[in-house]
Amino acid sequence: MQDDISEVRVFAPATLANLGCGYDVLGMAIHGPGDEIVIRKASEKRHVTISQITGDNGKLSLDATKNTATIAAQAVLDQLDLGGGFELDIHKKMPFGSGLGSSAASAVGGAFAMNELLGAPLSRHELLHAAMQGEAAASKAWHADNVAPGLLGGICLVRDNPSLDVVNIPPPENLWITVLYHPEIEILTSEARERVPSVVETHHATAQAGHLASLISGLYESDFDLIKRSVVDHIAEPGRRELIPHFGDYEKRSLEAGAIAFGISGSGPSLFAFCHGEIAANKVAQAFQYEPIDTYVSKVNTQGVIRIE
């Protein structure tokens, strides 16, 4: 541990998961919303604790054994076989339960902040396991489609979730995203997962594999026509779109405004529109300016979690 550092502040970004055809294996980080985590040494304490949480409307517990940020921070200590007292401030600066990776952002922030305070002995890839321990405590599932891009930045393909074998996909220079979030719609992850079939018919599995492969190719080649044809989900979206009122209308209006593709982020209710250029992305956002919908316009966030002053 570096003796001259007593406090570290980090910002972990919101993330979009699935991206249409990449159920539980594909995600990207965006700019704008996220979580700010502050960690400091607390010599009078023996474990990782929480001093305060803001921006959560009282929904989160101060019990460190139940929070993704502190679970992930403790996992870093365990990974390094270290002990000591630390306390965290957690500032939620993103919609809670929005499908934008809120729990993953806290987990990523907790793991990264602890590592920075200790002098960064672990690489970002080496922090994946610790961050996933925090995320798994909240989601009750081991899938890194939010944690990986939040930690590593950019677009991430999780080749294998159990081993956390993650590949970074280079985003096209002019790929912009408009995120639509309706604050009055709440979707429980457990309910959304019940809408995903446990058995997938062969023709749907084959089609999904083709779309995922062609989307990855489109991203590598900056082929926006191929990206447009590839963001199609045969597995999760058919059942989940029924949980989002006016989904069909939102999709139609986004495409008419200039989006090239449209889908559900994670379990929802947030929706995303892929756009070719900033002008198109802003036009999509403007199409909803008179609706009770929050919009975020962003390029792909290639940095991921960062340390801030």
In whole numbers, what is the pLDDT of the chain averaged over residues? Answer: 94
Confidence of residue 3 (pLDDT cuts 50, 70, 90): low
Q: How far apart are CA 299 and CA 275, in angstroms?
A: 10
> Is the pLDDT confidence value at 300 over 80?
yes
Q: How far apart are CA 309 and CA 191, in angstroms?
A: 39
Confidence of residue 144 (pLDDT cuts 50, 70, 90): very high
Identify the sign of the CA torsion 181, 186, 188, 193: negative
> Is the pLDDT confidence value at 30 over 80?
yes
Structure tokens at 69: 């940020």
Is residue 7 among the annotated active site residues?
no
Which residue's entry shows tokens 């989601």? Answer: 139
Structure tokens at 252: 């139609």
- Identified catalytic residue from 135, 178, 237, 295: 135
- The string of DSSP letters for 131-198 reads HHHHHHHHHSS---TTHHHHHH-SEEEEEETTTTEEEEEPPPTTEEEEEEE-TT----HHHHHHTS-S
For residue 176, the model assigns a pLDDT of: 98
| pLDDT digit string, tens, across residues 169-212 | 999 999 999 999 998 888 877 778 888 988 999 999 999 999 99
Is residue 256 among the annotated active site residues?
no
Is 3.30.230.10 the CATH classification of the domain at 7-169+302-308?
yes
- Identified catalytic residue from 49, 126, 189, 302: 189
Q: How many CB atoms lie within 10 A of CB 256?
A: 11
Query: How many Å from the N-terminal Cα to the C-terminal Cα in the chain?
Result: 19
Predicted TM-score of the model (pTM)? 0.95
For residue 45, the model assigns a pLDDT of: 76
Cβ-based neighbours of 288, under 8 Å, separated by 6 or more: 180, 250, 253, 295
Helix (H, G, I), strand (E, B) or coil at 62: coil
Question: What is the assigned CATH class of domain 175-299?
Answer: alpha beta
Domain extents in the chain: 7-169+302-308, 175-299
Lowest mean pLDDT among 97-101, 127-131, 171-175: 97-101
Q: How far apart are CA 78 and CA 205, in angstroms?
A: 39
For residue 187, the model assigns a pLDDT of: 81
For residue 140, the model assigns a pLDDT of: 85
